[in-house]
Structure 1
Amino acid sequence: MTEALLFMLALGSVCGIVLSFASKIFYVYEDPRIALVEENLAGANCGGCGYAGCSAAAEAVVIGRAAPSVCVISGPEAVLKVAAVMGLDPGTAESQLSYNLCEGGDRATNKYHYMGVNSCKAMAVIFGGKRDCHVGCIGLGDCIKACKFGALSMGPKGHPIVDDDKCVGCGACQKACPKDIIEVKSLSEKLLKFNQKNDPLAPCAQTCPAEINIPRYIAQIRNNDYLGAVRTIRLRNPLLLSCGRVCPHPCESECRRGIEDEPVSINQLKRFVADYEMFSGSRIPIKCAPDTGKKVAVIGSGPSGLSCAYFLRRIGHEVSIIESMPKLGGMIRYGIPEYRLPDKVLDWEIEGILNLGIKSYNHVKFGVDFGLGSLMAAGYNAVFLGVGAWKDYELGIPGEELKGCYTGINMLSRRAGGETLELGRTAAVIGGGNTAVDCARTMLRLGLEKVYMVYRRTRKEMPANEVEIVASEEEGVEFVFLAAPTKVIGNDDGHVTHLEYLQMKLGEPDASGRRRPEPIEGSETRLQVDTIVTAIGQSPEASFKQDPHPRMAELELTRWNTIENNPETLQTTIPYVFTAGDAATGPSLVVDAIGGGRRAARSIDLFLKGKPVVPVVDSLQHRRIKESIFTTVKGITPKKRAKMPELSVDRRMDSFVEVDLVLPEDEAIREANRCLNCCRLCYDPDIKSA
């Protein structure tokens, strides 16, 4: 018994010694951070991240092979906790979602019959797939098979549909697609996505300066998803109420239906859903990415400044808008009369932008009350200059200094600010653009008995929007065409009595393509008026260049007084200063300024991240995809275009009440059904009638 006990003790001692040596020799150390990271992952072991379970994913984070956001199911809070364990910056920790770019599917014609393996990847090897559209969806569903979460299904038109509620943004679908139709992007990446030459885009979407997905939001209207349409527009344009009222809709010039019929009334449909949200009693929630800790100062609150501020805030940056005028809005508040864009509508729209957490400061002028130095001292990391074009051009003729002479934007902005102007009984407005028309229609509403528009070319060459010209004719504006002012004549009190002009004739076309007006000798004519408004164009007011900060000397201006910039990135000659809108381009469309503000936001974001500020690769930017532009469209049955409702002349001339009204719902649905739902090459000629 004793011997056995001693033997067992000896054996135990030997084993202990052997195990002790083995533990030293074969010891495997596990970093305790692996367990801590794993605790903060979803624990689903789904493999959606590309690793064999959560333990493997946690180990990949610890050894630096994966980011804190490796888990495709965990939310931003889990990402922050994992980053804290690792002592890393989690970045914006934004959720990723997949989305389908192509909406053509089975509508696209086939160039050959395929009898091979039922796989997109296999088909793509053969001439890029059977579809005529080389960028379109093949439609065999490799992306659907790759998704482990049931977030993709084949839609009725032969292209995949993404279920956002099930999508975890793992990227498996994107990897499976041989044609890059399915993409996985964060909110910020979607907001800053710009049209590229290989995108499946309808002609109207290519033409829109804000690059809105027009067919998608019209399809949503057709399906009674009005709030979805608002969200689609707001991905590219935060000022849909304003644009729905003042945009001259260049998109409609490229509408395919317009080739065989009247174009779809795209802008009226935009206004319909914008007004629907405003009058619904609540706002659609707008998501913003997590804060980045970077600060941007936006100088000027016109459409480019508001757009830039909106997109910067949505991608997580802290933004302050600084405005010299009493209220925000810039030219769309002070340069566009209320009968076109009511203040209460603009107020509601701007309030929605500020509600994102954007600070604003009024009555503060750049170059006078503050400058670049004070902005840098206040901790701003970048500056956006959207100071507009507020300086009116003058004619340069004798008598312009007489009492009763005004300039266009100056007159409109003073009236919008509540100032009472002495305008007499008869007026001549010199110019043929939208500002000139706005001045003429405004003065009629202020009680003038007679308003002339004096233009040196003919009606055909007037650059104003056709609808505005027609409205001014209906309201009683009298046009004096082929007239070039030469002198303002006044009385002994120094007040205007007449405008003298030379009669003109049209000669050969000039650089703009319009026939050049040439004077007729000895044709001097006098027009009896007591007010003259010159509205022949504007340029930026560049007094901010007097800022003594040394860097301001580096900010270059063009010979037109616009701010010198890279037209693709909108970065100025000072690396941390960016610009867009009228300050960069000279007077242009509101929708151009909105698109420019978004493009500047992308460049500012790159600058703040320390990345090279480079242009969008293969950006369309005012170009067209040649193969998508048709000269004929088969199968179209003409359907009458919706007529914009408006107040009758006798009901609108005694106030600044809004003239153009919104489409009734049934008319909006009917108009949405006129849309051919185009993609790059395909369309639906047999859209049902409402």
Structure 2
Amino acid sequence: MIEALITMGGLGAVIGVVLATASKIFYVFEDPKMLEIKDALPGANCGGCGLPGCAANAEAILAGEAGADSCMVGGPDLAHILAEIMGVTVEDKEPDIAASSCTYGIPGADLKYIYNGLSNCRAATLLGGGMKVCTIGCVGLGSCAKACPFNAITMKETGLPSVDEKRCTGCGVCENVCPKHIITLSSVTRRIMREYTTDECTTPCQRACPAGINIREYIKQISLGNHLKAVQVIKERNPFPAVIGRICPRPCEDECRRKYIDEPVAINFLKRYAADVEKEIDKKILPFKAPATHRKIAIIGGGVDGLSTAFFLARLGHSPMVYEATPSLGGLLRYAISVLRLSDEVLDRDIEGILEMGVKVQTEKILGRDFTISSLLKEGFESVSLALGGWDSSLARLGGTRNDSDIEEPIPGTILLMDFIKHPDRFSLKSNVVIVGGGELALKAAGICKDSGAKNITILFRSSMKTSTLDPEHLEELVQKNIKVIFNTGIVRLSGKGDDLQELQYVDLDTLSKYSIPLHNLLIASGRFPDFIFKKSETETSESSETTDAPLLWEGLEPYKRPAYHKETGLLAKGDTLTDFQGTIHAIGAGRRAAASIHQLMYGISPSVSEIVVARESDVQNVDHVETVAESVRQIMPLSDAKDPSAFQEIEKGFTEEMADAESKRCLQCGLICYQHSGNA
């Protein structure tokens, strides 16, 4: 017995010595920070950070390959803890929440077949893309709910997923397992930045709206009596609900599917009704906004375009400042529309809602007189966005008239071709001049520039030489005068130093190769200055711009194009606004795109949209008739009974609550191809 104990004790001692020696030989140092990070992470291993698990994320955070805010589960509290461990700072970020854009589940959708196979969405889609006729619709087998590590998703009786926002961490697991990509992460920033794509459930009216308002949802809220919720839905994409409710040309109603049965839903009148309810309760309904970033952006122009840009930038968490040349905001809405259609009171109320989002304003400040693009960038603005408007807006800034002394040059060295042709003596040209567009007028302007002493003159045309309508003899004359003509080009960037324009970058529209031209003056064949976004050049250092009086290096870029023309490149492209916008609703859409582009640029992303954005050439599933829908009479807008125009009463009085309720119930609550069937047609 004693021998056995001695033997076991000896073996234990030997093994202990071996293990102690091995621990010294194979010892691996682990950074104390790594231990702290691992302890702080939740250990959910959900993959929301894009890595295999929390241990991998901890290693990435320590190596600087992942940010302190990379853990989707922990949220902002954990982000600040990790930032403190790493000795870095982190910006607050709004949470991502999963959301499905599908409108009708299996019970309410048109089906190709009855599925009785594996209860798995991917398995179902292997059979002809799923049981729905709709090619992008949710197949309703709950793979997202099963995959959610936090039990935040349940399947409703309608066959669609329901997300518990309190439980959802935005990890993205559901998005990854959905074969239709119909459930995605959503946030304030994502909703503002997003253009409609071909893989999401959109309605014909929604796609036709230049501002991209979720029309189906706000009409649904009106039908449920949730009028203020309807206002919030509208303001997601439209900061001027009361204004648009009175003056919109209503392209959405042209695409309403009720037209196949009787008349389109009075979409715009319902928008006005919701906005008027907001006025009656004397309370501003504000949409959600992202946490503050404290990044300053200047917007030049207090019309609809500029105010919309500022509104969406404020919602993105930034600090916008609007500079307006006239004493009042609103642009042409204040000067060009009869008070019988749009009163100053209605306009001012919508503008007040924009200002309450955190937009600051300075009026009677003129670009080129009170400040320059360069001076604003030196003052600490990260971007300067131009929203000057067109010819009519220019007249409004100048008090309704233009004369020989009213020459504007808001972008250094940049002149509108029509101003130059009319008053060439008003401009002092330098040696390098570039003329963009203008056809035969560009050739005439080139001759004037030559006579004025310009040495190097280049004309850029978007058209190819084959499709050009220019007289060959005139082109030959330019060649003899050493004036260069380049076809098939699109301007994509301007750059300068201080208050001087120095360089222009253009692309060959066939090869997309980029080329640069040194210049001092740019003549543009347009009725408005381009809505460029200006920022400090990438070569500009903070030391040179903040501690010295050295001129600042800057560059100007275009916002991304509207989706219908997203494949176009450069200035004066097809679909560009060359004078004033076709309607106020178009200016609102342009303002949101400008805000999204500014946001992208500030985070080092080139302004762009998804490759599958809904465009003119997109093949979006649709229907050309509706079935089993009962006819329903459209509500007629009641008119004022005032016979004296001097009474200044609005001609249209607006819907009553009963009329709005009846009209909202006419909406078919469409999906991509689905819609409500009344069953008694």
- TM-score norm. by structure 2 comes to 0.70
Distance 1:626 1:12 in 2: 75
Amino acid across the alignment from 2:266: S
In the TM superposition, what is the alpha-carbon distance from 1:205 to its structure 2 partner?
Answer: 0.7
State the one-letter code of the partner of 2:201: P
Distance 1:272 1:622 in 2: 32
Task: Give how far 1:121 is off.
Answer: 0.5
Equivalent pair of 1:555/1:574 in contact (CA under 8 Å): no
Q: Does 1:681 align with 2:673?
A: yes
Contact 1:146–1:176 at 8 Å: present in 2 too? yes
Moved more, 602-611 or 176-185: 602-611
CA shift digits 1:117-164 (9 cap, x unpaired): 121100111221121111111121111222233322323432223232
Q: Give the secondary structure class of the aligned counterpart of 1:227.
A: helix
SS at match of 1:384: strand
**What displacement does 1:17 show?**
7.5
Aligned to 2:660: 668
Shift of 1:390: 4.2
Provide, for residues 567-611 of structure 1, a one-character-per-residue CA deviation record: whole Å limited to 9, x for no partner.
Answer: 9xxxxx953465999975534100000011111222222222122
Residues 34-56 of structure 1: CA deviation (Å, up to 9, x unaligned): 34335655x57584747898677
Partners of 2:34 and 2:651 in 1: how far apart? Answer: 66
> How is 1:73-472 mapped onto 2 (pairs within 5 angstroms)?
73-88=73-88, 90=90, 93-106=93-106, 107-391=108-392
1:603 aligned to 2:597? yes
Q: 1:643 and 2:636 equivalent?
A: yes
The 2-side partners of 1:68 and 1:374 are apart by 35
Alpha-carbon distance change, 354 to 669 in structure 1, aligned in 2, over 3 angstroms? same
Q: Distance in 1 between matches of 2:615 and 2:304?
A: 18
Equivalent pair of 2:298/2:385 in contact (CA under 8 Å):
yes
- Matched to 1:378, the amino acid is E
Which of 570, 575, 578 does residue 556 from structure 2 map onto?
Answer: 575
Structure-2 change in CA distance of 1:585 and 1:624 (3 Å)? farther
Inter-partner Cα distance in structure 2 for 1:579 and 1:178: 29
Partner of 2:500: 549
Cα pair 1:227 1:273 within 8 Å, conserved:
yes
1:184 is displaced (CA, Å) by 1.1
Residues 333 and 343, structure 1, Cα contact 8 Å, conserved in 2:
yes
Partners of 1:294 and 1:608 within 8 A in 2: no
Letter in 2 for 1:682: C
Relative distance call for 1:60 and 1:410 in structure 2 (3 A) is closer
Cα 1:64–1:413, aligned 2, differ >3 Å: closer, same or farther? same
Give the Cα–Cα distance (whole angstroms) in 2 for the partners of residues 625 and 687 of structure 1. Answer: 30
Matches of 2:400 and 2:626, distance apart in 1:
44
Paired residue secondary structure (2:99)? strand
- Distance in 2 (CA, whole Å) between partners of 1:150 and 1:306 is 42
Q: Which residue identity lines up with residue 550 of structure 1 in the other structure?
A: L
SS in 2 for 1:575: strand
- Contact 1:219/1:672 (<8 A) preserved: yes
1:452-478 CA deviation, whole Å, 9 max, x = no partner? xxxxxxxxxxxxxxxxxxxxxxxxxxx
Match of 1:455 in 2: none
Measure how far apart 1:13 and its partner are.
11
Answer yes or no: is the 8 Å Cα contact 2:326–2:397 preserved in 1: no
2:677 is matched by which residue type in structure 1? Answer: P
Quickly say closer, same or farther: Cα 1:409–1:187, change in 2 above 3 A: closer
Query: Which stretch of the first structure deviates more once superposed, 137-146 or 13-22?
Result: 13-22
Q: Distance in 2 between matches of 1:412 and 1:638?
A: 49
Which residue pairs with 1:403 in the alignment?
A: none
What displacement does 1:63 show? Answer: 4.4
Q: Distance in 1 between matches of 2:323 and 2:561?
A: 15
- What is the CA deviation profile of residues 13-44 of structure 1, one whole-angstrom value per residue up to 9, with x for unaligned ones? 99998776444224343322234335655x57
Specify every segment of 5 or more residues in structure 1 that has no aligned partner in the other structure, as ranges. 1-9, 394-406, 415-544, 568-572
- Cα distance in 2 for partners of 1:619, 1:413 equals 42
How far apart, CA to CA, are the structure 1 residues paired with 2:102 and 2:148?
18
> Quick one: distance in 1 between partners of 2:19 and 2:620?
76
| Structure 2 match to 1:559 | 525
Match of 1:634 in 2: 627
Code of the aligned partner of 1:559? A
Q: Is the 8 A contact 1:102 1:200 kept in 2?
A: yes
Give CA deviations for 1:381-420 in whole Å, capped at 9, x if unaligned.
Answer: 2222111124499xxxxxxxxxxxxx99999899xxxxxx
Q: Given the superposition, is the C-alpha separation of residues 226 and 30 from structure 1 closer, same or farther in structure 2, using an over 3 Å criterion?
A: farther
Q: Output aligned runs, 1:611-622, within 5 Å.
A: 611-621=605-615
Q: Which residue of 2 aligns with 1:594?
A: 588
One-letter amino acid matched to 2:181: D
Match of 1:588, as an amino acid?
A: Q
After superposition, the Cα gap between the structure-2 partners of 1:128 and 1:53, relative to the gap in structure 1 and judged at 3 Å, is: closer
CA separation of 1:574/1:191 partners in 2, compared to 1, >3 Å: closer, same or farther? same
Q: Which residue of 1 aligns with 2:423?
A: none
Secondary structure of the 1:98 match is strand
Give the conservation status (yes or no) of the 8 Å contact 1:80–1:93.
Answer: no
Ranges in structure 2 where 5+ consecutive residues have no aligned partner: 1-9, 403-495, 504-518, 534-553, 563-575
TM-superposed deviation, 1:327: 1.6
Query: Is the Cα contact below 8 Å between 1:676 and 1:684 reproduced in 2?
Result: yes
Task: Say if 1:616 and 1:14 are closer, same or farther in 2 by CA, change over 3 A.
Answer: closer
1:72 partnered with 2:38 = no
Q: How far apart, in 2, do the equivalents of 1:332 and 1:219 lie? A: 29
Does residue 657 in structure 1 map to residue 646 in structure 2? no
| AA in 1 matched with 2:111 | N
Q: Is the 8 A contact 2:390 2:527 kept in 1?
A: no
Q: CA deviation at 1:193?
A: 0.8
The alignment covers a number of residue pairs equal to 530
Q: Deviations over 1:88-129 (max 9, x none)?
A: 453553311111111132333112332321211001112211
Alignment match, 1:522 = none
Distance 1:664 1:40 in 2: 56
Kept in 2, the 8 Å contact 1:372–1:549? The answer is no
User: C-alpha displacement at 1:325, in angstroms?
Assistant: 1.0
Give the conservation status (yes or no) of the 8 Å contact 2:98–2:183: yes
Contact persistence 1:335–1:413 (CA under 8 A): no
Q: Partners in 2 of 1:247 and 1:310 — Cα distance?
A: 19
1: CA distance, partners of 2:679 / 2:320:
44
CA contact (8 A) 1:207 1:624 kept: no
Matched position secondary structure for 2:646: coil
The 3-state SS of whatever aligns with 1:231 is: helix
Aligned 8 A contact 2:205 2:255 in 1 = yes
Cα distance in structure 2, aligned partners of 1:687 and 1:330: 49
SS in 2 for 1:654: helix
Do 2:257 and 2:264's aligned partners in 1 also have CA atoms closer than 8 Å?
Answer: yes
User: CA 1:60–1:258 in 2, change beyond 3 Å: closer, same or farther?
Assistant: same
Alpha-carbon distance between aligned partners in 2 of 1:361 and 1:287, rounded to the nearest angstrom: 25
Whichever residue aligns with residue 605 of structure 1, its letter is H
Query: What one-letter code is carried by the residue in structure 2 that aligns with 1:575?
Result: G
Deviation at 1:192, TM superposition (A): 1.2
Distance (Å, rounded) in 1 between the aligned partners of 2:521 and 2:598: 17
- Going from structure 1 to structure 2, the CA distance change for 1:217 and 1:61 (only over 3 Å counts) comes to same
Name 1:501's counterpart in structure 2: none
Offset of residue 167 of structure 1: 1.7
Using the alignment, how far apart are the partners of 1:32 and 1:95 within structure 2? 30
Seen in structure 2, the aligned counterparts of structure 1 residues 140 and 11 have a Cα distance that, compared at 3 Å, is: closer
